[in-house]
Amino acid sequence: ALRSRSGRSIINGNWAIDRPGRYEGGGTMFTYKRPNEISSTAGESFLADGPTNEVLDVYMIHQQPNPGIHYEYIIPGDNVISPQLLAHRRPGEPLNGQLGMPESTNQEDEDLHRETDTLTGQSAGTFPVIQPGRFPSHQPEKQVPAVQPPRQNREHNWKQIGKTECTTTCGKGSQYPIFHCVNRITHEEVSESYCDSSTKPIPEEEACNLFPCPAFWDIGEWSECSKTCGLGMQHRQILCRQMYANRTLTVQQYRCHHLEKPETTSTCQLKICSEWQIRTEWTSCSVPCGVGQRTRDVKCVSNLGDIVDDEECNMKLRPNDIENCDMGPCAKSWFLTGWSDRCSAECGDGVRTRSVVCMTNHVSSLPLEGCGNNRPSETTPCNNGPCTGKVEWFAGGWTQCSTECGSGTQQREVICVRKTEGNFDVLNPYECSYLEKPPSQQSCYLKPCGSKWFHTEWSTCSKSCEGGFRVREVRCLSDDMTASTQCDPQLKPEEKEPCNTQDCVPEIDENCKDKYYNCNVVVQARLCVYTYYKTACCASCTRVANRQSGFLGRR
């Protein structure tokens, strides 16, 4: 990870892993490279041309032994050349191991030498070279020259007959002089035993082929495919590099313009994506009329035809496996009970009752508007003979209707009395408690009020958690319960509303527990994709997986 001293994350910050690419920070642009972890053993890297304008910190997290960090950097530097050598140098002669620049040297070569000195961190004068006949070789300090015997006493001596091949064809290599034993007069090569081995010159390294090597494109490894299935993209890093002094240096890209630049992006496909398949047709609606629900079987199927986990498919494209269904308004009928066996009065006039209710009729062919206004009677008269001193409930007259239009209520007083010849004695209501008390309130209707909004009860919620919806039927009806268009649209009740918005509670597996106290860090670092962490932090990883899938399929 790369971060500035101010705390701003540039690459892989805040426990989030960035994709390989280019990221701006520290006054420059960083190219982040992360090879495929399966097919490559190379590590992550980032590269910037610079210069940086602030201090940047590099962080590394690792579960295995620290693999180490390799780094290169560029610092400003000047070419340091000895003034004494400048006085003796001829055009084209090596200068302490570095080829001096003749007047015809182009700007490109000068730039390369400047880049070489800067990147290696070395000044000129690193490579001493012997050039016989031009200027004397540099002798190391405190080295005593070998004692040479008088020439007239030697019939054979050592002679340089050539040099070894240069170690490189370009970009500054090295070679050594070759000495053989020869006859001093005829210069014929003879066995080395004829010469004094103690006087054989020690070959000194000489620089050779100082001209720069041609630049080339250094091609990095492809990154991971951006998609785990289907068509995705992958990237790789392309750098212009050049060899000099046995080191490969990164140079400006214009030096590689003579070569065709390889592609930095490419399409990729690891496998064909799994897809959603609807395995069954919709079931029948859960209700014969009104609003109900129906279901169907939806599975995630791999390209081999196997049923796999839902996470293998795109959850955003998952077809619904449950939906509401409207079977239309329900036909309704009057449902009646039998008359009560007991008369409301033990003597004199009374009534017998029954229950009358309008309910959905699943088999009737009645019109769909409802039960109608012909409500069957709930009472019928009865008489158990004349009263002689018996107690009974006495009901007074009804009050006025509580509303001027539409449905209202009326009240009346009901008291317990004992009926005698021509008289009534008021008793405590307790005396009549064994008798059925007449109603003291009833509904009333004076005149129509106009059209009103009517609605059914809410349907069952489409989901048990994570937010579903429920519906109801809303109609504008007139006073005679026929469809009308006279209702105020602004007062229309809602026909659909959200429901069960609470979070889903996953099933608890007693064997799925966190073994470490800091499993939240594993979740933040997105390490749950690895089997080890998925097991060691089972509860935390499962909780995150359930949250992402939205518990689809659990109803």
| Helix H or strand E encompassing 114 | helix 107-120
CA 385 vs CA 83, 346, 395, 436: distances in Å: 149, 8, 19, 18
Are 77 and 25 in contact, with CB atoms under 8 Å apart?
A: no
Buried b (16+ CB within 10 A) or exposed e, 132-168: eeeeeeeeeeeeeeeeeeeeeeeebbbbeeeeeebeb
Token pair, residue 77, equals 């530097």
In the chain, helix, strand, coil percent, each to 5? 15, 30, 60
Token pair, residue 513, equals 């527990």
| Helix H or strand E encompassing 499 | strand 496-499
Number of Cβ within a 10 Å radius of residue 429: 12
CATH T-level assignment (fold) for domain 214-270: TSP-1 type 1 repeat (2.20.100)
Are 448 and 479 in contact, with CB atoms under 8 Å apart?
A: yes
Buried b (16+ CB within 10 A) or exposed e, 216-240: eeeebebbbbebebeeeebbbbbbb
- Residue 120 DSSP label: H
Residue numbers in the chain where pLDDT is lower than 50: 79-153, 363-368, 551-555
- Residue 85 DSSP label: H
pLDDT of 89: 42
Phi, psi dihedral angles at 520 (to 5 degrees): -65, -30
How far is Cα 8 from Cα 468, in angstroms, rounded to an integer? 41
- Residue 88 DSSP label: H
Q: Rounded to a whole number, what is the distance in angstroms from the first to the last CA of the chain? A: 42
Residue 490 neighbours by CB under 8 Å, 6+ apart? none
Are 242 and 36 in contact, with CB atoms under 8 Å apart?
A: no
Phi, psi dihedral angles at 93 (to 5 degrees): -80, 150
Whether 275-327 and 214-270 are alike in CATH topology: the answer is: yes
Number of Cβ within a 10 Å radius of residue 456: 15
Are 56 and 26 in contact, with CB atoms under 8 Å apart?
A: yes
Buried b (16+ CB within 10 A) or exposed e, 337-355: eeebeebbbebeebbbbee
- Residue 522 DSSP label: H
pLDDT of 111: 43
Preceding omega of 140 cis (within 30 degrees of 0): no
Structural domain boundaries in the chain: 2-58, 163-208, 214-270, 275-327, 391-397+406-435, 452-498, 512-545
With vertex at residue 73, the alpha carbon angle to CA 67 and CA 74, rounded to the nearest 5 degrees, is: 170
DSSP letters, 159-170, are EEEEEPPPS-SS
Q: Alpha helix locations (H) across 489-537?
A: 519-524, 531-536
- Residue 71 DSSP label: -
Q: What is the 3-state secondary structure (H, E, C) of 195-252?
A: CCHHHCCCCCCEEECCCCCCCEEEECCCECCCCCCCCEEEECCEEEEEEECCEEEECC
Are 133 and 88 in contact, with CB atoms under 8 Å apart?
A: no
Residue 520 DSSP SS3: helix
Token pair, residue 172, equals 């500054």
Q: What is the 3-state secondary structure (H, E, C) of 530-546?
A: CHHHHHHEHHHHHHHHH
Phi, psi dihedral angles at 358 (to 5 degrees): -95, 115
Are 477 and 484 in contact, with CB atoms under 8 Å apart?
A: yes
Are 462 and 480 in contact, with CB atoms under 8 Å apart?
A: no
| Class of 275-327 in CATH | mainly beta
